Amino acid sequence: MARKKKEGSGLNIPDAPFRPGEEAIFETWSWKPGDLERPDPTKCTAEDTVPHAQGLVRVLGDNDKASGAWNPKLNADELREGLEHMVRLRIFDDRMMKMQRTGKLSFYMRSFGEECVAIAQTMALETQDWIFPSYRQPGAQFVRGRDMVSMICHCLGNVEDNIKGRQMPVHYSYRDGRFISISSPVGTQFSQAVGVAMASQYKKLDEVTITWIGDGASAEGDYHYALNFASIFKAPVILNVVNNQWAISTHANFATASGEFATRGLPYGLASIRVDGNDFLALYAVTKWARERAASGSGATHIEVLTYRAGAHSSSDDPSRYRSSDEHTKWPGGDPIERLRDHLIEIGEWSAKRQSGLEDRIDSEVMSAYKEAVKYGDLANGPYPEADTIFTEVYEEMPWHLKEQFDEVMEG
Amino acid sequence: MANMNMIQSLNNALDIMLERDDDVIVYGEDVGYFGGVFRTTDGLQAKHGAHRVFDSPLSEGGILATAFGMGINGLRPVVEIQFADYIFPAYDQIVNELAKIRHRSGGEYWSPVTVRTPAGGGIRGGHHHSQSPESQFTHTPGLKVVYCSTPYNAKGLLISAVECNDPVIFFEPKRCYRGPFYGDPHNVLTWEGHPEAEVPESHYTVPLGEARLVMEGGECTVIAWGAMVHVSEQAIRDSGVSCDLIDLQTLVPWDRDTVVNSIEKTGRCVIVHEAPKTSGFGAEMAASVQERCFYHLESPIQRVTGWDAPFPHTTEWDYMPGPTRIAAAIRKTQEG
Ligand SMILES: Cc1ncc(C[n+]2csc(CCOP(=O)(O)OP(=O)(O)O)c2C)c(N)n1
Ligand SMILES: [Mg+2]
């Protein structure tokens, strides 16, 4: 059969909005704080959240004031705590990246520009709730009280690394904080988190699980498994898509042709909300709402956290090769730390002087934690975990074939 | 002839195939505009157009499923899985679909997909940027499995893979992208000056199914693939034993004649791979060697492999086979 040809260019290939050498011009947001109602989380249906999925929940306005139905009305101490954790994460990240450059750790990934995400959201949870993160939510550990020295020891892969040098840096596991072990294959945690939540539900425990996936990784099957299972079993889970616009060099236009993520939850029957991911108050409020919904037995919430990956994907990446260099400074959502700081100043609870005092204090906190951690070794100089850590905990008990190999290494 | 590292020779192979055949189409995560996280497809989109070299959604299952479909509709997709560790979301599409389509349709349909994927350790990649999952594919009828080791064979094998009408899983030893690796992690080499980095700029093939005799000797046969070819070369020198070193290059179908002839000559055999021992492709080689060469063997076949444990980050040099372990195994074959 002869096959007829059509006119046209053939395959449709999307592109990123701005490439190197081009000026980044984002449309200004028409969404304002106060636009959206706050429905009753225990009663509302997925359909009731259509405006929230299509709009954007904001609390902090351009005037640095908090307003609207979603204002969580946190007190100044709580706001300062959030600010402190975000500053801690940024300074911590910068220090680790510097140390990566000197070879003390093999690899690093910063949360730059997205510090708010895990910090505001974890603060909105209860301590018994489970955290099932990707590599860009390490900040949750600060909220859960993890010792910074121990975090650095993991990144250095030294003898005090609680995961024994087995995984690359940033693949934290922190059981005391109910922060579940991070795995490199992207997206897997998203549907696993639904299972964690189903177990809580089965055991009738007052526990909620929160998890995150990137815009890029939302193209994996695991994303869709998660939404479907969560919806069918009404699992007490909070499903966040962190839309930071980029997946390494691949723009979010390759993850969805619709330009939206939040609305994808609606046809699954999930309450769905898009939130300004650099607005600490909005993110806190939406997460609190989702927790209340999950805990009440009304099921999962699907949240698009709208933000921007301000830094390189990782220490191996050079974004100047694929995106416009001024993009992150033009992001309409601004910088999450500056926005919360300016809000605190606006309400008379903070000052530029206190901010620089905070930064100095955290800087020395991070430096002294680093100095202590490096005493236990680093990647450039050792000492490293013993070779026996290769063989232990592969199984609960070491089978004979592995024991033979283990003996070979220990004797050799 | 030009001196090329493995990234450049692979890039050159893709360039040539895109030039020669309009049905060749290259895609995968970050391979389009950016040119791949290892830079293997650098410049190809600019040269051949975004409709032929493009970024895909972050979805290995989607990549393989669409490649399968394009393949049965007449295209010749060459897809990249960013790390071999991330091939598993596509495992069903490869094992149950791609591998079986020719057979299951009575020969009515086939899908000539090439799956390129960086594999193996030596870059401090930990559990999920280091694995060498070749045996998870050699165990699947219908797939050809290739593991290159030098700039020269990388290009020639990749062209053969793309031209092949069967699906090919093409492993690239990422530690050897920019230089050979002789087992000393602190000695970072380039391909400059290496004879196997002298690469013709034009089209040529290294046929699938043919091994490469890297060194010739009479006392032992060492069989390896990927980065372990170079590590074994070092080990042979260290051992002082005169060895044939066979770079298998294609694992399925492997080169029976080269292997059998060598072992009939040497009577001794060491098999080296990075992947864990249990059910590794070394087990297949060992079994086949004893089936075919039992009466020529003068000592037990030795395997030197990664341990039966996940690939570690900090302690990777205790995990990967190094010259010391391999040399010891070679010497052991000389006992008795
Ligand atoms: C299954 C799998 N495929 C590919 C990769 C390689 N990889 C690591 S991160 C990444 C991009 C992820 O982007 P996104 O999901 O948007 O998260 P972000 O990095 O922006 O936080 C890719 C492709 C991986 N880790 N796992
Ligand atoms: Mg992203």
Structure tokens at A205: 């425990």
B129 contacts chain A (CB < 8 A): yes
pLDDT at A7: 81
Of B129, B139, B194, B273, which is the active-site residue?
Answer: B129
CA B59–ligand 1 middle distance (angstroms)? 10
> Domain ranges in chain B?
2-199, 212-334
The distance from CA A155 to its chain's CA centroid, rounded to whole angstroms, is 18
Facing B58 at nearest CB: one of A9, A219, A322: A219
Domain spanning B212-334, CATH architecture:
3-Layer(aba) Sandwich (3.40)
What pTM was computed for the model?
A: 0.98
Answer yes or no: is the C-beta of B88 below 6 A from any ligand 1 atom.
no
In tens, the pLDDT along A345-357 reads 999 999 999 999 9
> Taking CA A286 as the corner, what is the angle to CA A285 and CA A292, rounded to the nearest 5 degrees?
90
Smallest CA-to-CA distance from A298 within A235, A232, A238 is with A235
Show residues of chain A in contact with B56, CB under 8 Å.
254
pLDDT at res. A4: 84
Within the 55-94 window of chain A, which residues sit less than 8 Å (CB to CB) from chain B? none
Count of CB pairs separated by less than 8 Å, A with B: 135
- pLDDT tens, position by position, A212-271: 999 999 999 999 999 999 999 999 999 999 999 999 999 999 999 999 999 999 999 999
* Confidence at residue A3, expressed as pLDDT on a 0 to 100 scale: 82
Q: What is the pLDDT of residue A9?
A: 72
B28: left (phi over 0), alpha (psi -120 to 50) or beta: left
How is residue A151 written in tokens?
């975090």
- pLDDT for res A412: 73
Helices in A31-71 by DSSP H: which ranges?
50-54
Report, at the CATH architecture level, how domain B2-199 is classified.
3-Layer(aba) Sandwich (3.40)
Annotated catalytic residue within A309, A323, A339, A341: A309
Geometric angle at alpha carbon A200, from A195 and A203, rounded to 5°: 120
ipTM of the modeled complex: 0.97
Domains in chain A, CATH or no CATH each: 47-314+325-381 (3.40.50.970), 387-412 (no CATH)
Helix ranges restricted to H, chain B: 6-20, 44-48, 60-72, 91-92, 101-104, 135-138, 151-163, 228-239, 256-266, 281-293, 316-319, 323-334
Q: Catalytic residue at A313?
A: yes
In A98-208, which ranges are E strands? 130-132
Digit-by-digit pLDDT tens for chain B (336 residues) are 999 999 999 999 999 999 999 999 999 999 999 999 999 999 999 999 999 999 999 999 999 999 999 999 999 999 999 999 999 999 999 999 999 999 999 999 999 999 999 999 999 999 999 999 999 999 999 999 999 999 999 999 999 999 999 999 999 999 999 999 999 999 999 999 999 999 999 999 999 999 999 999 999 999 999 999 999 999 999 999 999 999 999 999 999 999 999 999 999 999 999 999 999 999 999 999 999 999 999 999 999 999 999 999 999 999 999 999 999 999 999 996
Chain A residues closer than 8 Å to B50 by CB: 13, 15
Query: CA torsion B119→B124→B128→B130, rounded to 10°?
Result: 20
The whole-number pLDDT of residue A38 equals: 98
Return the residue matching tokens 């890297």: B214
Q: How many residues does chain B have?
A: 336
Residues with Cβ within 8 Å of A349's Cβ and at least 6 positions away in sequence, in order, are A76, A79, A80
The β-bridge relationship of strands A209-214 and A130-132 is: parallel
DSSP secondary-structure letter at B96?
Answer: I
Q: What part of A 303-332 touches B (C-beta under 8 Å)?
A: 316-317, 321-322
B324 vs chain A: nearest CA distance in angstroms?
10
Would strands B198-199 and B220-224 be described as parallel, antiparallel, or unpaired?
Answer: unpaired
Which residues of chain A from 247 to 286 reach within 8 Å of chain B, CB to CB? 247-250, 254-255
Q: Per residue in A257-268, pLDDT tens?
A: 999 999 999 999
The response to whether residue A184 sits with its C-beta less than 6 Å from ligand 1 reads yes
- Read off the pLDDT band of A6 (50, 70, 90): confident
Mutate to test the interface with A, among B22, B313, B318 (most CBs of A within 10 A): B313
Asked whether B208 and B168 are in contact (CB, 8 A), the reply is: yes
B103 catalytically annotated: no
Structure tokens at A325: 């260099």
| pLDDT given at position A1 | 67
- Residues B101, B105, B107, B109, CA torsion sign: negative
Query: A88-125, pLDDT tens digit by residue?
Result: 999 999 999 999 999 999 999 999 999 999 999 999 99
pLDDT tens-place string over residues A292-324: 999 999 999 999 999 999 999 999 999 999 999
Which residue in this structure is represented by tokens 């204002």?
Answer: A71
Asked whether A402 and A126 are in contact (CB, 8 A), the reply is no
* CB of A345 closer than 6 angstroms to any ligand 1 atom: no
Closest Cα in chain B, distance from residue A63 (Å): 38
Which amino acid is present at B65?
A
